[in-house]
């Protein structure tokens, strides 16, 4: 048997995706002794199988969009704090509309966002043409959010880890958590005994506090401590377009993306409806471009579904018919950690003192990583005056609810976290 020395830290963060990396960064920077446990490589799950929006344009006006705005400020600060580049590009973003009904809804959206203190404005047909020569001629207009930014999510993870290590973070890749035990029920509070023992594929670790930042795999970590975390994987496909001519300088989504996200009814064909397809087109630093999006509840099956990809390509052609000859070089899927109210869980867990959850961001993980990381660090310090109010993100708002059906049951023995 390979007996490893026990490794101990004040805080163990589980999950090396963008949420875990941001949490580890702010925790280490705040002076706490921290380790990061990741089952694969840093950013080898959802955070390298997504797009890179730090956007407020698609957030519910109010608390949700203000979280994004704070994230945007933090990301801007990180361009100075971190040593490695993460392809930060703060040019704002667009939503485009194809019907008068959408234009009317967009006008309301702009008014509500501006009332919440954000910087939104309506765009007409001529404005849209200025944004890209490849847009369909019949698009009516849309809206722009001035503060939205793009980043490269996996480079952002690398940059956060790199700087966090300078603050003392220890990173353990290929350390999949297999069991967690809470040790301290009977001990005196002053004893210097660890609260948690964490068994992993890279040996045993101990910590006083644990942050579960395992994204779609967070429920399995919860199960190990007997708690139910109502997060369900929602699969999204992305297509990579090859660089040819510049398509557009900033991110664009169709207005229907909002309807898909928040669960309204759209006037679209059955395949587009069934696969939850809505156009997103993101220019990236390599001068390639990414086409999204789809939303499906299919458990943890990450295989590419060509029917979905074809539906997305059709949807992209509806908004960008002049891209017909552009070549696509790659497709991929990522599992987004969905919650019922579209807000993440960033919270202590009363049933298990010392155990925190930072997960459930669905498609907003990139947008909300920095605000989540900073908030978790403040919670670990017991800070009362936090960067955003914590009540809407509490774990116990879902009391008694499980995830969406069978996906989160019975797979703990098959899926290694």
Given a contact cutoff of 8 angstroms between Cβ atoms, the answer to whether 221 and 214 are in contact is: yes
- 287 is a site residue for other proteins (CB under 8 A): no
Task: Among 239, 248, 277, 308, indicate the residue that binds other proteins (CB under 8 A).
Answer: 239
219 vs 365, beta carbon nearer other proteins: 365
Given a contact cutoff of 8 angstroms between Cβ atoms, the answer to whether 10 and 196 are in contact is: no
The span of 106-114, 137-145, 193-201, 321-329 binding other proteins (CB under 8 A) equals: 321-329
Please tell me the distance from the alpha carbon of residue 56 to that of residue 367, in angstroms, as a whole number: 8
Please tell me the distance from the alpha carbon of residue 314 to that of residue 261, in angstroms, as a whole number: 20
- Write the binding mask 65 to 94 for other proteins: x where contact by CB under 8 A, - elsewhere: ------------------------------
- 338 is a site residue for other proteins (CB under 8 A): no
The span of 55-63, 143-151, 154-162, 183-191 binding other proteins (CB under 8 A) equals: 154-162
Please tell me the distance from the alpha carbon of residue 129 to that of residue 170, in angstroms, as a whole number: 49
Instruction: Check residue 19 and give left, alpha or beta (phi > 0: left; psi -120 to 50: alpha).
Output: alpha
CB of 123 to other proteins, least distance (A): 24
Distances (CA, A) of 218 to 32, 84, 111: 23, 28, 36
Please tell me the distance from the alpha carbon of residue 351 to that of residue 225, in angstroms, as a whole number: 9
Please tell me the distance from the alpha carbon of residue 337 to that of residue 154, in angstroms, as a whole number: 17
Given a contact cutoff of 8 angstroms between Cβ atoms, the answer to whether 356 and 209 are in contact is: yes
127 vs 285, beta carbon nearer other proteins: 285
Strand ranges inside 58-103, DSSP E: 93-97
The span of 119-127, 151-159, 185-193, 409-417 binding other proteins (CB under 8 A) equals: 151-159
Tokens of 302: 């990450």
CB of 242 to other proteins, least distance (A): 5
- Write the binding mask 267 to 286 for other proteins: x where contact by CB under 8 A, - elsewhere: -------------------x
197 vs 274, beta carbon nearer other proteins: 274
Task: Among 331, 386, 390, 416, indicate the residue that binds other proteins (CB under 8 A).
Answer: 331
Task: Among 233, 241, 365, 403, indicate the residue that binds other proteins (CB under 8 A).
Answer: 241
Closest among 251, 228, 261, 265 to 357, alpha carbons compared: 228
- 245 is a site residue for other proteins (CB under 8 A): no
CB of 326 to other proteins, least distance (A): 5
327 vs 401, beta carbon nearer other proteins: 327
- 165 is a site residue for other proteins (CB under 8 A): no
Neighbouring residues of 332: CB distance < 8 A, sequence distance ≥ 6: 49, 237, 238, 240, 304
The span of 176-184, 328-336, 374-382, 405-413 binding other proteins (CB under 8 A) equals: 328-336
Given a contact cutoff of 8 angstroms between Cβ atoms, the answer to whether 197 and 183 are in contact is: yes
8 vs 243, beta carbon nearer other proteins: 243
Tell me the sheet residues that pair with 283: 289
CB of 143 to other proteins, least distance (A): 25
CB of 24 to other proteins, least distance (A): 17
289 DSSP 8-state letter: E
208 vs 315, beta carbon nearer other proteins: 315
Pairing of strands 289-292, 280-283: antiparallel
Task: Among 326, 340, 411, 412, indicate the residue that binds other proteins (CB under 8 A).
Answer: 326
Residues of span 5-64 touching other proteins by CB under 8 A: 40-44, 48
Task: Among 19, 323, 357, 388, indicate the residue that binds other proteins (CB under 8 A).
Answer: 323
- 304 is a site residue for other proteins (CB under 8 A): yes
Q: At what angle do helices 365-380 and 63-81 cross, to 10 degrees?
A: 80
Given a contact cutoff of 8 angstroms between Cβ atoms, the answer to whether 333 and 235 are in contact is: yes
Tokens of 238: 């992305």
Site for other proteins, rule CB under 8 A = 40-44, 48, 154-155, 158, 174, 239, 241-242, 286, 304, 306, 309-310, 313-314, 316-317, 320, 323-332
């Amino acid at each position: 048997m390979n007996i490893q020395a026990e490794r101990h830290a004040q805080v163990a963060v589980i999950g090396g995706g963008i949420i875990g990396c941001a949490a580890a960064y702010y925790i280490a920077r705040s002076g706490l002794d921290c380790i990061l446990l990741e089952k694969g490589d840093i950013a080898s799950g959802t955070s390298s199988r997504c797009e890179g929006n730090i956007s407020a344009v698609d957030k519910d006006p109010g608390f949700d969009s203000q979280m994004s705005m704070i994230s945007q400020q933090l990301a801007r600060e990180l361009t100075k704090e971190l040593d490695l580049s993460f392809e930060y590009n703060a040019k704002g973003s667009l939503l485009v509309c194809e019907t008068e009904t959408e234009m009317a809804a967009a006008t309301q959206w702009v008014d509500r966002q501006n009332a919440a203190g954000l910087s939104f404005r309506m765009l007409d047909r001529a404005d849209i043409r200025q944004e890209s020569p490849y847009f369909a001629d019949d698009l009516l207009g849309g809206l722009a959010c001035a503060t939205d930014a793009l980043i490269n999510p996996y480079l952002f993870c690398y940059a956060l880890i790199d700087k966090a290590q300078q603050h003392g973070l220890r990173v353990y890749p290929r350390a999949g958590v297999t069991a967690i035990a809470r040790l301290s029920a009977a001990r005196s509070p002053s004893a210097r005994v660890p609260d948690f023992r964490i068994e992993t594929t890279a040996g045993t670790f101990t910590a006083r506090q644990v942050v579960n930042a395992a994204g779609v795999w967070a429920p399995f970590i919860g199960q190990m401590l007997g708690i139910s975390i109502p997060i369900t994987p929602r699969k999204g496909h992305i297509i990579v377009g090859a660089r040819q001519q510049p398509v557009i300088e900033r991110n664009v989504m169709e207005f229907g993306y909002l309807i898909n996200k928040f669960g309204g009814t759209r006037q679209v064909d059955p395949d587009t409806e069934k696969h939850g397809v809505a156009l997103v087109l993101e220019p990236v630093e390599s001068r390639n471009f990414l086409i999204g999006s789809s939303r499906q509840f299919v458990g943890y099956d990450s295989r590419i579904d060509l029917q979905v990809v074809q539906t997305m390509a059709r949807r992209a052609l509806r908004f960008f018919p002049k891209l017909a000859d552009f070549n696509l070089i790659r497709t991929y899927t990522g599992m987004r950690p969905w919650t019922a109210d579209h807000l993440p869980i960033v919270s202590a867990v009363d049933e298990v003192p010392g155990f925190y959850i930072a997960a459930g961001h669905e498609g907003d993980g990139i947008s909300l990583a920095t605000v989540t990381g900073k908030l978790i660090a403040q919670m670990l310090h017991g800070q009362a005056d936090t960067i955003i109010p914590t009540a809407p993100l509490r774990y116990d708002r879902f009391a008694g609810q499980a995830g969406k059906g069978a996906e989160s049951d019975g797979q703990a023995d098959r899926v290694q976290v």
